[in-house]
Amino acid sequence: MMNRLQVARTTGVLFIVFSLLLNIPYYLLIQNFEYDDILRKPTDYVLTQFHAGGAGLILTWFSFALVVLLFIPTSVLFQKVLGREDTPYLSAATLMGVLSGLVQSVGLMRWVFVLPVLANLYVDPSAIDILPPLIRST
């Protein structure tokens, strides 16, 4: 069982590690995928660039999604550091932090599991007829 000082130090270290680790895949996405400017580009451009990024780009998105999961234990430990049991607001904020980490990670995983399939279908001329009209270039 950790005492209050150990919990505070662990939480502080986790916040620092989380902040540093989060910026590594984000920086790589900026450099290698024009993120987040690419989100304002046409779909055909995004899919083509994603396909060109290959396995390295998918791994970057995967690491980004995994790092975001660190927000879950950070939120829980932060509640313990504050040590306020007399307010429901802190419990609600902790729950929101946990849900935030989970939902953000799931949202980022679409770049790992959905986009590779869509990008491969888009660049494969034999698969063009099965794509929905919204993602086909005209």
Which pLDDT tens digit goes with each residue over 57-72?
A: 999 999 999 999 999 9
Q: Report yes or no on 136 lying in a domain.
A: no
More confident of the two residues 79 and 132: 79
Q: Say if residue 115's pLDDT is above 70.
A: yes
Going by pLDDT thresholds of 50, 70 and 90, the confidence category of residue 87 is confident
Of the chain, the end-to-end C-alpha distance in Å amounts to 62
Q: Report yes or no on 132 lying in a domain.
A: no
Q: Report yes or no on 23 lying in a domain.
A: yes
Q: How far apart are CA 70 and CA 13, in angstroms?
A: 12
Q: Report yes or no on 52 lying in a domain.
A: yes
Check: pTM over 0.75? Answer yes or no.
yes
User: Average pLDDT for residues 29-33, to the nearest whole number?
Assistant: 97
Going by pLDDT thresholds of 50, 70 and 90, the confidence category of residue 95 is very high
Q: How far apart are CA 96 and CA 74, in angstroms?
A: 12
Q: Say if residue 83's pLDDT is above 90.
A: no
Peptide bond just before 37 cis, omega within 30 deg: no
Q: Report yes or no on 71 lying in a domain.
A: yes
Going by pLDDT thresholds of 50, 70 and 90, the confidence category of residue 52 is very high
Write down the H helix ranges in the chain: 4-33, 43-68, 71-82, 88-113, 115-123
Domain range for residue 12? 4-122
- Count how many domains the chain has: 1
Q: Report yes or no on 78 lying in a domain.
A: yes
Q: Report yes or no on 72 lying in a domain.
A: yes
Q: Report yes or no on 129 lying in a domain.
A: no
